[in-house]
Homo-oligomer: A and B are copies of this chain.
Amino acid sequence: MKKAEATRLTILQKAFELIYVKGYQTTSIDDILATTQVTKGAFYYHFKNKDEMGLAIIHEILKPTMTESFITPLQNPGDPLEFIYGMMHHLLMNNPFLKPEFGCPASNITQEMTPWNADFGSAMNELIEQWEDTLVEVLEKGKAAGFVRKDVHSKQVTIMVMSGYWGVRNLGKLDQGKESYSLYLKELKNYLDSLK
């Protein structure tokens, strides 16, 4: 990788972590410069302004990460209900990057930015629609393969699952540990069983 490209990527990655922890608006350019050891001249060489960097983070960091977490594992066949539960369990209990006290990066950005920046809104909408479409698709396949009842409404279930995940990621901020996560996962299992 070229050196300049490495600088740009460092900024995006470190800024993403800072924003995950502190929020977008309260992460200052100077914060980013301090943790990356990049100077202001270099920063503004790579990005026109802060928002351009923010959108680049969504497209170049968040989107690939979510594709890797949600879309790619989906290529496997088998019971989609098992698959969905396993994905949620892994995300909530095993993912080493995501901390209960800081929630879900995508959820955080949506909550903070969407009402006031249409570009952030449509960028996040793309991500979420990709996730949504993938879940609907896998549920439909599951219906065809007999894993899921035929009268199940895949999109409704998808919204239920995504909402639950984002919600518990936020509820969990009020815990000390992962109690809410555990309770949520147990009930998610019951719910998914009811779709068989």
Contacts and interface: CB of A to CB of B under 8 A. Distances in A.
Contacts of A101: 114-115
Contacts of A170: 107, 110-111, 163, 166-167, 170
Nearest to A128: B174
A186 B153 contact: yes
Contacts of A23: 25, 112
Interface size class of A (residues with CB under 8 A): 35 or more
B156 A183 contact: yes
B26 A110 contact: no
Given A21-B115, A26-B25, A112-B112, A171 B162 contact: yes
Interface stretch (A4-12, A78-86, A187-195): A187-195
B160 A188 contact: yes
Interface in A33-55: none
Given A153-B186, A156-B190, A166-B167, 12 more contacts: A101-B115, A107-B111, A110-B170, A121-B173, A125-B174, A128-B171, A128-B174, A160-B184, A163-B168, A163-B171, A191-B191, A191-B194
Interface of A: 21-23, 25-26, 101-103, 107-108, 110-112, 114-116, 121, 124-125, 128, 153, 155-157, 159-160, 162-168, 170-171, 173-174, 180, 183-184, 186-188, 190-191, 194
